[in-house]
Structure 1
Amino acid sequence: MKRKKFILILASVFILAMVAVPTYAAVTDQQKTEIDALNKQIAELQKQIVDKYAEAGEITKAQADSTKANIDLSEQYRQQYAQQFGSAAPAQGYGPGLGYGPGYYGGWGANAGGYYGGCW
């Protein structure tokens, strides 16, 4: 009898925990706004970094413009799917031929100390 009571209590606690955790972990509208603002700041910083590489002569102006366009595209993609899927939004991938230079597809260290192309 005590064993059945213990199992019933344990099962009840487990079910309550399963229901309560997703509700507690939900992101509020204010937090979504803050996260969106931070992501926009990240995109702007990435563009500034690209500009610095162009100023230093590491990449051409055309490469910088292309990379900044990719950053804008990624930001639009993030905004579109963040509204639809929240934090479970699918990530935009990089396939062969995107960016320039060996980047990740050239193997780790293939472009050591250099510019990694459009891999942001």
Structure 2
Amino acid sequence: MKKVIFLAIGVLLLFSYGCCSREYAREQVVPVQERMTKYETQTTTMTSDIAQARKDAADAKAMAADAQKNSRQAMEMAQSASTAAQGAADRAEAAAKRAEAAADRAEAAAAKAAKAFELRQKK
């Protein structure tokens, strides 16, 4: 019987040693809970930073697309202006050639008139 009592006391001591008080449990849980709260806050901050970075990247992409579109339009306008300028230069060159030909004809006519005047004067 003594053995059974000692065995029962030993088992009770063994099980009672494994149990802990509520205060001890709080002391152990509170630091872990504080760290978890800190990590949750950091995670929330990082998540919002990532969302902002994605938004900024999307805005930058949109701005780049607009810039590319404007660049294409400017290139097309420059090509159109270049074509128009080349046409104007060609027309100016043709007009200059016609003016030169007209000047040559006028010079020839003036020479003929001068010769005719001289012939009349000699008579």
Larger radius of gyration: 2
TM-score for both structures, normalised by structure 1? 0.33
More helix as a share of residues:
2
Structure showing greater relative contact order (alpha-carbon pairs closer than 8 Å, 6 or more residues apart) = 1
TM-score, L = length of structure 2: 0.33
